Structure 1
Amino acid sequence: MKIVVLGAGAVGLTVAAKLSRVADVHAVARTRHADAVRKRGFLMTGIWGEGTCRFSCSEDLPDAWRDADYYIVAAKSTGTEAICRQFADVIGGREVVSLQNGIGNEEIIARFTDRVIGGMIITGFEWRGDASVHVSVEAAPVKLGRFPSGTDAAVEDLAALMRKAGIRAEATGSIRTDIWSKTLYNCALNPLGAVMNVPYGALTNPHAWTIVTMIVREACRVAEAEAVSLPWETPEAYLEYLRTEQLPATAAHHSSMLQDLALGRKTEIDFLNGAVTALAQKHGIEAPYNTCIVELIRFRERL
């Protein structure tokens, strides 16, 4: 099995490292990370295991890897279209998998191939240096499904390969639901944790939780308008799941958006709360809390 990871940052390099134990893997990454992988290997710590992993990695895509079985896009959502354009002649008609945050990535990829596999990964990956990542938390198994719905042999085979590599993974026939479910989690915690500069566990403070509650209620109304069937019957049912199940598992995690702001990088806000507000406008739904958090993050991006 040949797998290429495109836009490999912390998530992509770590997934590549795990998969390299059971498949031939090449990762396309930034030069400093690719150089580090070539020189001394990829360093992984945390709950996915400890050690050094060696696999093919460069800042480009060698000809030998232009016939991979799967191309996994693991870039920030802000880079999805650029990556698809860069490798359009390679990914056309191929199995392309999104392991990214937010709403809209699969729709972008679908403009370049008719073989889109949606993915949901809700795990904490934190940089510890060039080509060095600490896996801090895991709230659920990776979910994979044919986008926008259904499953097939290609999906099942990739999920099985991930499990063989030691990654908890499941095939699903309703990946759009899973993507929206993760987006609820990210919309609720990611930008607020960034603005407040606190780990997720601190957001159970009653004042922060009031904001979390309103963000979730608005997002659930938008999901309903989009005909997305969420696993929870009410926003309150999801909020209880978030408080009792997801937050305890990720309480020590710092927002990826906080890391982006600290490094002066553009965040994924337009694919999270920004996507919720855009869809809210489409359906004539009021979403003031999501709108406010979007504007706060955009303000921080421009400091």
Structure 2
Amino acid sequence: MKIHIVGGGAIGLLHAGLLAQAGQEVTVWTRTDEQAKRLQAEGIRLEMLDGVARDIAVNSHSLPSLLAGQAGQAGADAEHAAAWIILTVKQCHIDERLLHQLQRLSSGKSALLCLQNGIGHMDKLAAALPGTLLYAGVTSAGARRIDDARHVRHTGDGPLWFGAYAEDKKDDNLQNLLLNILKSAGFRAGLSNEMKDRIYQKLLINAVINPLTAIYDTTNGELPEHPSRLKLMRSLFEETSAILAADGMKSAADGWQLVMQVCAATATNVSSMLSDVRAGRHTEIDWINGGVSGLARRIGIASPLNDAVTTLVKQLH
């Protein structure tokens, strides 16, 4: 099956590599011509969980080439249209230019799976792509890009859940096809009718761990080791949990234990937000803690800690 991966970061390269290795026809759409040329010529260097690395051939084009009329008019031409588009870029990159590029890339028969952290992106995509079947996804797979172009390391195995953003806009055959393909590629994939709840549950974990690792410049495992950091983690958890529960998240009795388990299971990991801060890149703080703050304002709940960590992380950019 033809699958477009939009985004050449760690998660995009991981999905592209595993799917191509399983025999799917994969095209990676990158932000730069340079990365697309490297991937087209040399493929993805995929380092597996067991340490074995292999080169995997993929097609690749740059996203700017869509608007420049290159790459064979990919979206407009049925010859290049994909059954599935998997969007792996960070929220900060979902701007008007990318939305226009996605309009060109998608077709009337395409479905779009979105794997972003945080909240707010699905409404934006639905407005820009009214004719596209939208699916929200949540993944716990870990990946780290080793170089700027093609080398990615699979660092953690976790479930991938996805489901239709709107119940009246889905294709059972298409979603089951993707589910089976993901499983054949080695993903622990599943379909869910409770994607809002799954998105909120992941948002809760990200809203506690990501900003505080960035602020304290520490790994996930080191974060709860100091009493004052642990106390702040718990307070941020309680505030965020109350806000998300007020908007429909199902409260889990072991929610706090799950946050601690994630810190332990990913103890040596540098969070994506800390990685972005260290590299001088824009973070996803506006869509994680900033998203929680925006939600709190809409439902009339105070969010002082989420407001504070949003401001602090933005000062680190």
Deviation of the 1:225 alpha carbon: 2.2
In the other structure, the counterpart of 1:84 is 99
Which residue is 1:288 aligned to?
A: 304
Task: Quote how far apart the aligned CAs of 1:81 are.
Answer: 3.3
Residues 1:258 and 1:5: Cα distance change in structure 2 (over 3 Å):
same
CA displacement at 1:8 relative to structure 2: 2.7
Query: In the alignment, which of 55, 58, 62 is matched to residue 55 of structure 1?
Result: 58
Q: Deviations over 1:59-106 (max 9, x none)?
A: 145337431101111111111233222221432643111011111122
Structure 1 pair 47–74 and aligned structure 2 pair: CA distance change class (3 A): same
Quick check: 2:82–2:106 contact (8 Å CA) kept in 1? Answer: no
Q: Which secondary structure state, in structure 2, belongs to the residue aligned with residue 125 of structure 1?
A: strand
Give the TM-score normalised by the residue count of structure 1.
0.91
Q: Is the 8 A contact 2:6 2:12 kept in 1?
A: yes
CA deviation map 1:26-61 (0-9, x unaligned): 010133322221232211224276311110012145
How far does residue 202 in structure 1 lie from its aligned partner after superposition? 0.8
Q: Describe the SS at the equivalent of 1:134.
A: strand
Contiguous gaps of at least 5 residues in structure 2: 76-80
Structure 2 match to 1:132: 151
Partner of 1:41: 43
Deviations 1:236-269 (A, max 9, x none): x2011221x3222211110111111222211111
| 1:118-129 equivalent positions in 2, closer than 5 A | 118-129=136-147
C-alpha displacement of 1:7: 2.4
1:104-183 correspondence runs (5 A): 104-111=120-127, 112-113=129-130, 114-129=132-147, 130-138=149-157, 140-148=158-166, 152-183=172-203
Q: How does 1:5-16 map to 2 (within 5 A)?
A: 5-16=5-16
Distance 1:20 1:264 in 2: 32
State the SS of the aligned residue for 2:94: helix
> Does 2:44 correspond to 1:28?
no
Q: Distance in 2 between matches of 1:158 and 1:80?
A: 23
Q: After alignment, is 78-87 or 179-188 more displaced?
A: 78-87
CA–CA separation in structure 1 for the residues paired with 2:246 and 2:106: 32
How far apart are the structure 1 equivalents of 2:145 and 2:13? 11
* Cα separation, 1, equivalents of 2:212 and 2:35: 29
Aligned to 2:78: none
State TM-score, norm by structure 2: 0.87
Q: 2:258 aligns with which of 211, 224, 241?
A: 241
CA distance in 2, matches of 1:239, 1:149: 31
**Distance change in 2, residues 1:37/1:89 (3 Å):** closer
Change (3 A) 1:92 1:229: farther
* SS in structure 2 of the partner of residue 295 of structure 1: helix
Matched, 1:191 2:211: yes
Distance of 1:186 and 1:268 partners within structure 2: 10
One-letter amino acid of the counterpart of residue 240, structure 1: Q
**Aligned partners of 2:9 and 2:145 also within 8 Å:** no
Q: For 1:266 and 1:32, how far apart are their aligned partners in 2?
A: 21
Aligned residues, how many? 295
Aligned CA distance change for structure 1 residues 296 and 214 (closer, same or farther; 3 Å): same
